[in-house]
Structure formats: C-alpha cells, structure tokens
Structure 1
Amino acid sequence: MLYVFDLDGTLIQGYMDGGDYAHVQPLPGRIEKLAELRAVGHTVAIATNQGGIAFGYNSEGDFKTKLLEALRALKLARDTPVKVCFHHSTASIERYRDPEGCARRKPSGLMIKELMQELGYSADQTMYVGDRPEDDQAAAHAEVAFMWERDFFGLGAENFMAR
C-alpha cells in the first residue's frame, strides 16, 4: 500500500501554526508509525504545498534544507518519494503563477496521481493523510482514500494498515 502524507501539520509541526520554517519538529507518534508502515512493506511518500516560496517568504533552497532535515528527523531515507508545489495563483513572484504549476497545487490531486504513477500503485492501493480541507479535497480528486492525521496517528489507523 502507498501512504502519501502532507508534510507541515501532518508529519512535522507546521510553521504556520507557530513553528519555525527552518526548525523541524516531528509531531508525536510520527516516527514510530512511519517505521511500522515501512517494516511491513508499505511505501511512504510526501505531497506538500509550499506556497510561501511563491511569495518570497522562503526559497526553494530553504525548502530543500527543511525537507532533508524533516526526512532525517522522521528517520526516512533521503530518497523518500516527494512531490512539492511551490506555485500559487496569486504569487508575488511571477514564475510561481504559471498555470501548469498551479494546477498541481492541492486541492488538486495531481501530485498524488504523479506519485501513484511513478511508484506503480492504483487508487485503491493508496491513502492520503493530511490535516487541512485541501488535503481531503486532493484525495477526492485523486480518487484515493483519505484520513485526517489526528485519526491516522491515533486509534483509528489500525483498520487501514491491514489492507
């Protein structure tokens, strides 16, 4: 099974929720649950919007540093599949307003579909886990199962891990 996770607010403390963009703090239970999934043969991937880059708050290099630190902190391999969208339709930096790039931004499910295609999973073999309404909408767009992070990392996750 392919488990695709949002990053900020799902796996690590979200910088928009009082965290620091450069400081990575895994949320409780994430390291253990990710290790458990991988130990039984599931694939773990990440699909994340990083629109702050489109507004000049951070750079793509800042994100790469943050991502590498997040992977290290979560005990995930550096080659963990990741899809990221830096674009935003109202970006202050023009190159990030590109319609094709914006089309990948959640609530679109295109990043999830890209991961499924590249990794060889079908929609019925994929779950997206997130913390925001656009995550739920992205899963619906990609026609995959969705679970709120609070439920997945809480008591409700066992029902889905057996699939």
Structure 2
Amino acid sequence: MPSPLKLVILDRDGVINHDSDDYVKSLDEWIPYPSAITAIARLSQAGWTVAVATNQSGIARGLYDETTLAAMHRELGRRVTAAGGEIAHIAYCPHGPDDGCDCRKPLPGLLEQIRDALALESLEGSWMVGDSLRDLQAGEPLGCRPVLVRTGKGERTLARGEGLRHALVFDDLAAFVDWLLQQTR
C-alpha cells in the first residue's frame, strides 16, 4: 500500500488565527496563534506540504476587500517563513452563503483548487484540519482525513457533535502536529 500523501490542509480563522463572529476584517484584527505558526513551520521542516482553504465571505458582505485579505495572507506567509516553514498554497472563497459558488466549504471546491495548484492527482490520505463541521465536510469527498481543533469555533462544533464520528480531536493545531509527527517518525 502506498504511503499517505504528506499534505495538511488548514482552515484559517480559528485554526491559524483567532476567529471573530464579527469577521477578521483587517491586518490589525488578524491575530495568529503563536503555536500555530510554529506548528506550520514544524510540519514543513518534517517534509509535509501545508496549504490553507478558507471561506472569506466578509468580501462578499463588503466588510473588507481582496487587497486586505492579500495583506493578511502575506503576513501569514512572512511569519511562517520567519519560523522556518512554508505554505504551499492558499485557496479562498470570497463568496457569500447564497452566491451559489462551488468553492465555499462544505463544498470541496477550495480543496480541488489546492489539488490542482499543487499538481496532485488526488488528496486521498491528506489531512483536513478545521474548527467547524463544514471544514471537515469539504475534505470528505476527496478522501481527506478529518481533524477538529478546539480553538476558534471548535468547542461549539464539538458540543454539537453531529458528523464528527471519524474526526480526530485536538486542543489546537500544535497538539495535532505533535501527534502527527510522532506517528510518522
């Protein structure tokens, strides 16, 4: 049996940075979890590819624009690089819930974008890490293994419990990375 793909796909808000029910609308409001930046770097250093799949409906809602989002993603990349890591690709959905797109999670479009951008045949066996059920559902049709973190909206998601029977649950991204790197030694 071939070894699983060494790819970890992360949701952004609530996994990499603090989330807000009022949306993360500016670079000043984008506050990463320090342990998440380090965790991404550790994955990279261990030979894992890291990508991000994030719904950003605040763009469709007129709360911020794609230039502001790009600034947040540049800062994310800068911090991860400074820590010794790399993010291979960031896919985002700028649409609102009623826009009828194919990229808004729980649909798999963002993950398909990542697959295509990284020139992969499949995402089977990769990891999808999120703080909401829709994050995990986006990876299901593509064979991603689901991981729920308790940060962000993770505790609320866990309390609902629906659809999480196959998900591994960790306190945060760093705890997942600790576990994953132990498994793959």
Length-normalised TM-score, structure 2:
0.71
Q: Provide, for residues 95-130 of structure 1, a one-character-per-residue CA deviation record: whole Å limited to 9, x for no partner.
A: xx3x3xx11100111211221233226333311111
1:89 deviates by 4.0
In structure 2, distance between residues paired with 1:12 and 1:148: 15
Aligned 1:70-81 pairs, distance under 5 A: 70-75=76-81, 76-77=85-86, 80-81=88-89
Alignment-derived partner of residue 16 in structure 2: 11
Give me the whole-angstrom Cα distance separating, in 1, the residues matched to 2:97 and 2:134.
15
Count of equivalent residues = 153
Aligned to 2:114: 115
Q: CA deviation at 1:51?
A: 0.2
Matched with 1:47 is 53
1:19/1:89 Cα in 2 relative to 1: closer, same or farther (>3 Å)? Answer: closer
- Of 14, 21, 26, which residue of structure 1 is paired with 2:32? 26
Cα RMSD of the aligned pairs, angstroms, is: 2.4
**Alignment partners' CA distance in 2, 1:156 and 1:59:** 32
TM-score by length of 1: 0.80
* Cα shift at 1:29: 1.4
Higher helix share: 1
Runs of 5+ unmatched residues, structure 1: 91-96
**Percent of matched pairs sharing the same residue:** 26
Letter in 1 for 2:115: M
Structure 2 counterpart of 1:85, which letter? Answer: C
Distance in 1, Cα, partners of 2:50 & 2:128: 10
